[in-house]
A and B are shown apart, each in its own frame.
Chain A
């Protein structure tokens, strides 16, 4: 029984990380209808920036803030410089660009910061919360952070004019342009926000999985499974999916299918959902008029 609670707790903690990463995927999908395969490596690179700042004596929250802002700007720049030229190109071209980006960030991180694993500080240090025995303070903290990020993303889209403009730009670029929304900048903004959210995901993941250039590889796969499960155009769905995948992965691995095929669970979820319910559990079906 104790073991079960431990499995649940570590699944929940990692599920929080999957959820934030899935949110970042949703962000770019919302804006461009594309999945950014470089999201993981971008997040990893942002995390290295935070690590580097802290190595140079910065306080955690200062480094956190600067990294999020830096990642936002970096995301916008990437959209403007690298992604924009392919806006009119076939989808496949964009996908190749994303994959190329992921290699570039991976190699850059290795070049600048080395390939050895680094430990990464957490702001939620110290004793476990509420005297529980199963979750470390960081694990509890990262779950809370993922919920906070979700609330912010939700509020942004639901209650701010900018969020509304972004949704309009994604769903009907032509009409949005006619009512004065600057569609191009909305896409760049989407990339910036995704990069910033990804940075938070990386900084929550690093204390659990350790920081190295390949840190986000497996996480992105699970996050993708989570996003697809919950519906890749729905922030709530993505977060639900992320947590579900995190917990399911641990419980299935330990008690049902065995550790050897644990990773396949993520792939089966992706394929299963795409076959049975392509828009995910909470996704909206988009019908395009041809």
Chain B
């Protein structure tokens, strides 16, 4: 028979054990997984807000189907207006007040940089950040921070190699956004060309996102006599550059980045005829491309958008991005099983072997390991024929 003292001790021990369990797995209860995110729903980058909306819709659908291993996903996505100080504030709110298990797909290079130290000091997984900046795939220094898409330097390096192979005597002009995003392309291009060929870049001109147009920069670049034109720009400015370079009668081989390859939101505004001949590298499927009409992955995506989003979102490349990312996240959570401690979530997120996603190009696989923090490293070149993208060559690894 247990005496009073023994009873109290064991009760305390039990309480302590439960307590320890809860401390081990913040944001997790028997019925719920709490996930946090910051996203620019307002401000200059608000077009990306569709990513957060898509992910929320996907998790909602998963919950309606019974959740992940019996737990419901409670996805808290807060607006940071693409402003780093706000990101820090919202992230602390998510971690300290909401007590989320981890952060998933927070968007933007500056916002993610602002919270990276905080996440790593406190051991909060900052998973699959929505930016292509190379700095987020650095397991040696930032173990809790994980990238997602091929980084900008990788892509630009692929362009550099392609230019060397097809036009070894090219004179290259570069239009780049004057921030980390644009400069990564310049760095990657130089790396892809190699030190011996860095001189092939005859002119680089930058623009600020607050400028109305880049017409003046494109004119200046054409004046340099270049015969290859790399457009490292966000959608609106890419569309302007594509149109202006055509209108100027500039007969250069033009490369655009995978940020700006959407037919509906970039090439159509620029004019499909004016976009003919563009080259880019891609890893995802374009929803406006008729080739995927009967593709199983595309059908799955289309079905999801029709039931859980609005029709306008179908061709939005941000919706496709969010769709892929959310599926990846659910895959990782399933893989965690019942151990949803932060350590195990990170372990499973960095332990993915050859996962294919419905809206990734066939053959492109997601791989992560404790030393590989770049989940998507492969891309394929494609050129625009005036109505759709045509893939060519092999799948390339940067």
Q: Is A198 an interface residue (CB 8 A)?
A: no
Chain A interface size, under 10 / 10 to 19 / 20 to 34 / 35 or more: 35 or more
A221 within 8 A of B: yes
Contact residues in B for A17 (Cβ distance below 8 Å): 212
Contact A249-B216, Cβ < 8 Å, known A115-B46, A117-B265: yes
Residues of A within 8 Å of B265, CB to CB, are: 116-117
What is the minimal beta-carbon distance from A211 to any residue of chain B, in angstroms?
9
Q: What 1/0 mask marks residues of chain A from 1 to 33 whose CB sits below 8 Å from any chain B CB?
A: 011001100110010010000000000000000
Contact-size category for B: 35 or more
- A residues near B240, Cβ cutoff 8 Å: 209-210
Chain B, range 257-305, C-beta contacts under 8 Å to A: 264-266, 268-271
Contacting pair B44 A208 (CB below 8 A)? no
Choose from B205, B210, B235, B268 the contact partner of A119 (Cβ within 8 Å): B268
Contacts of A219 in B (CB 8 A): 212
Within the complex, the shortest CB–CB distance from A114 to chain B, in Å, comes to 6
Interface mask (A210-227 → B, CB under 8 Å = 1, otherwise 0): 101111011101100000
With A259-B207, A260-B206, A262-B211 given, can you name 9 additional A-B contacts, CB distance below 8 Å? A210-B240, A217-B210, A218-B212, A219-B212, A254-B216, A254-B219, A259-B216, A259-B217, A262-B208
Residues of A within 8 A of B223 (CB): 2-3
Q: Is B178 an interface residue (CB 8 A)?
A: yes
Question: For window 216-234 of chain B, which residues contact chain A by CB distance below 8 Å?
Answer: 216-217, 219-220, 222-223
In the complex, which residues of chain A have a beta carbon less than 8 angstroms from the beta carbon of B216? 7, 10-11, 249-250, 253-254, 259, 262
Binding site for A on B (CB under 8 A): 42, 44, 46-47, 49-50, 178, 205-208, 210-213, 215-217, 219-220, 222-223, 235-236, 239-240, 247-248, 264-266, 268-271, 312, 316
Picked from B205, B222, B269, the residue with its CB within 8 Å of the CB of A259 is B205
Listed residue (B213, B235, B265) with the most chain A CB atoms within 10 angstroms of its CB: B213
B-contact 0/1 string along A259-278, CB 8 Å cutoff? 11011000000000000000
- Is B219 touching A263 in the complex (CB atoms < 8 A)? no
Given A6-B248, A10-B215, A222-B212: A254 in contact with B269 (beta carbons within 8 A): no
Instruction: Point out the residue from B217, B220, B264 that lies within 8 Å of A116, measured CB to CB.
Output: B264
Q: Given A116-B264, A218-B212, does the pair A259, B220 have CB atoms closer than 8 Å?
A: yes
Contact flags A111-131 to B (C-beta < 8 A → 1, else 0): 000111111000000000000
By a CB distance below 8 angstroms, the chain B residues around A136 are 247
CB pair A117 B239 closer than 8 Å? yes
Q: List 23 A-B contacts (CB under 8 A).
A: A3-B220, A3-B223, A6-B248, A7-B216, A7-B219, A10-B215, A14-B212, A17-B212, A103-B42, A110-B46, A114-B312, A114-B316, A115-B47, A117-B235, A117-B236, A118-B269, A210-B269, A218-B211, A222-B212, A254-B216, A254-B220, A259-B220, A263-B210
A246 to B49: give the CA distance in the assembly, Å: 33
Complex CA gap A137/B50 in Å reads 36
Answer yes or no: A205 CB below 8 A from chain B CBs: yes
- Set of chain A residues within 8 Å of B208, measured between Cβ atoms: 262-263
B267 to chain A, nearest CB (A): 10
- Interface pair A117/B266, CB less than 8 Å apart: yes
The 6 A-B pairs of least Cβ separation, nearest first, read A115-B47, A3-B223, A119-B269, A116-B265, A218-B212, A250-B216
List residues of chain B with CB within 8 A of the CB of A221: 210
Q: Judge if A107 is at the interface, Cβ distance under 8 Å.
A: yes
CA distance A14 to B26 in the complex (A): 55
Q: A250 — which chain B residues lie within 8 A by C-beta? A: 216
Q: Is the CB of A10 within 8 A of B219?
A: yes
Chain B's interface: helix, strand, loop or mixed, by majority? helix
| A117-B235, A259-B220 known; A14 vs B49 contact (CB < 8 Å) | no
> A210: which of B44, B219, B239, B248 is its contact (CB, 8 Å)?
B239
- CB proximity of A111 to chain B, nearest CB, Å: 10
Q: How far is the CB of B81 from chain A (nearest CB, A)?
A: 10
A 121-178 contacts with B by CB, 8 A: 136
Contact across chains for A115 and B210 when beta carbons are under 8 A apart: no
* CB 8 Å contact bits of A27-44 with B (1 = contact, 0 = none): 000000000000000000
A186–B388 alpha-carbon span in the complex (Å): 54
Q: Which residues of A contact B207 (CB under 8 A)?
A: 259
Contact indicator A3/B219 (Cβ below 8 Å): yes
Q: Which residue of B lies closest to A221 (CB)?
A: B210
Q: Which of these, B42, B212, B220, B264, contacts A205 with CB under 8 Å?
A: B212
Chain A contacts for B205, CB-based, 8 A: 259
* A260 and B178 contacting across the interface, CB-CB below 8 Å: yes
Q: Which A residues, 27 to 66, have Cβ-Cβ distances below 8 Å to chain B? A: none
Provide the residues of chain A in CB contact with B210, threshold 8 Å.
217-218, 221, 263
The answer to whether B236 touches A212, judged by C-beta atoms less than 8 angstroms apart, is yes
A208, B247: Cα distance in complex, Å: 12
B216 nearest in chain A by CB position: A250
Most buried by A among B220, B222, B247: B220
Contacts A3-B219, A10-B219, A14-B213; A115 near B49 (Cβ below 8 A): yes
A169 → chain B closest CB, angstroms: 34
